[in-house]
Amino acid sequence: MAEERAFEARARNPASLAGGPPNLTVLRADLMDPTAIGPAIAGQDAIVTAMRERGTRRLVVVSNSGMHVDEADGPVTRFAVKPILGRVLKHSFADMRRMEDLVRASGLDWTIVRPPMLTDGPRTGTYRAEIDRNVRGGNRVSRADLADQLLRCLADERTVRAAVAVAN
């Protein structure tokens, strides 16, 4: 991570991100508990406004690839897996769609990173990434590889105002 940049992350178990760079602040938040996450994200809806006011241009956010169907998805994924996910995760997907819409309309230099199912595997550096399309056959990625891709997006001009799918 570039030393002049500061990063903030939310995690159920902040200790799992111990040993990160000194410019990374990790806060505890159970993202599956609405009563717990409320205070953790208070004011976060003002991020785009605050970024504009301060002249900060770069925004990289995490969404998911499960709610996006394209030609890279195989028939089982396209016609069975993703429709089921769409029903089960209807509210989460609606929130992510709203977030993606807000990010796109922000006027900032944004990147939306879309991982599939996250695993606890190690950073491999061998994951695949695709700009503005899903990764063919990509159904999982380690959190460590996702973090690596997020950092790569910060420096990759090709990802500005694009959605990047990432999968192992």
- pLDDT tens per residue across all 168 residues of the chain: 445 667 777 777 787 777 667 777 887 776 666 566 556 555 555 677 778 888 888 999 999 998 888 888 888 888 888 889 888 988 888 889 989 998 999 999 999 999 999 999 999 999 999 999 999 988 999 999 999 999 999 889 999 999 999 998
Please give the DSSP secondary-structure letter assigned to residue 149. Answer: H
pTM for this model (two decimals): 0.75
> CATH homologous superfamily for 60-167?
NAD(P)-binding Rossmann-like Domain (3.40.50.720)
| Domain residue limits, the chain | 1-42, 60-167
Nearest CA to 67 out of 108, 117, 7 is that of 117
